[in-house]
Amino acid sequence: MAITLSGDQAIPGPPLSSRLTPAQVWGIVLLAPYLLVFLAFVVYPVCYGLWLARAPSNYVALYNDPIFARAAVNTLIFLVIGINIKMLIALFLSGFFAQQRTWIKWLSVIFILPWAVPSIPTILSVRFMLNPEWGMINHYIFSLTGDDGPNWLNDPTVALTMAIAVHIWKSLPFWTLILITGRLAISHDLFEAAEVDGASWWQKFRYITWPSMQTLYVTCTLLSMIWTLGDFNSVYLLTGGGPADLTHVLATLGIRYLRLDQLSLAMASIVCAMPFVLPLVYFMMKRLSR
């Protein structure tokens, strides 16, 4: 309602209306709500945050904080290893789900569940499964072997691996779905022709599927890497950054500093991630805004 009012006021203004057509005035009025949100909740916080992180002493403090170095390495492992494994599985499964079978259709409906349900209860469910004393997994290890199972989340390597697994569990369906769309867009004639020529499974993938999907695949991988930088839930809800703050990633580390009331350190840790984030963002924007 407020928008309509300001629109009515804008039209009679002499200097504006002489230069702008009514459609353009409406254009500005309709764009205004988003611009307000953008200024109030993106521009202002970002500038304010950068201002808070301006002192060089913050970066010295970060450099001297072993948790920061560990979180940076964990983030790299998460992105470089975790995402590539996820995307390779997604690429493989997109071929599986592109098969025309009724049971595969049904399976694909179930397969999307991790993406459709909220992550909190399912991550907590995994956390309970991994509980060393009461969890389902160690219960079975005990009844099968008579030995106590490992204390899963108490070992930083295993805990980080589990966090990556949880991340893959949650987002694999989404990327598989997108790669399926890419695969189905390939003309079927190509495969039939290859079939006639007696091409092997690998040759069909190498010379038909991959060339038509590589752009999509690379775009998806980069996009997934950018988003995974912000994956707070998989780590925080599974390990809480522990044991001994050894499984933090940059997303959870920022929040940890925030909870410790070290806001300038939190911002500084995010600023440190920017040299990696911004080139990826720039590249993605060039790709998507054509």
**What part of residues 130-159 is at the interface with other proteins (CB under 8 A)?**
134, 136, 139-140, 143
The answer to whether residue 1 forms part of the interface with other proteins (CB under 8 A) is no
Least distance CB 216 / other proteins (angstroms): 4
User: Rule CB under 8 A: which of 195-214 touch other proteins?
Assistant: 213
Site for other proteins in 62-91 (CB under 8 A): none
> What secondary structure letter does DSSP report for 155?
S
Residues in region 265-284 near other proteins by CB under 8 A: 266-267, 270, 273, 277, 280-281, 284
Residue 57 binds other proteins, judged by CB under 8 A: no
Is residue 126 close enough to count as binding other proteins by CB under 8 A? yes
Among 1, 110, 144, 196, binds other proteins (CB under 8 A): 110
What is the separation of C-alpha 234 from the centre of its chain, rounded to a whole number of angstroms? Answer: 10
Site mask for other proteins (CB under 8 A), range 17-56, x = bound: -----xxx-xxx-xx-xxx-xx-xxx-xxx-xx--x----
C-beta of 155: minimal distance to other proteins in Å?
Answer: 20
- CA–CA separation, 227 and 242 (whole Å): 22
Q: Which residues contact 171 (CB under 8 A, 6 or more apart)?
A: 86, 115, 224, 228
Which residue in 224, 231, 222 sits closest to 166, CA to CA? 231
- In angstroms, give the least distance from the CB of 59 to other proteins: 16
Decide: residue 195, CB within 10 A, 0-12 exposed, 13-18 middle, 19+ buried: exposed
5 binds other proteins (CB under 8 A): no
Instruction: Please identify which residue in 9, 125, 187, 203 interacts with other proteins, judged by CB under 8 A.
Output: 125
Using CA atoms, how far residue 272 sits from 6, 52, 109, 143, in Å, is 42, 14, 41, 48
Report how far residue 269's alpha carbon sits from residue 277's, in angstroms, rounded to the nearest whole number: 13
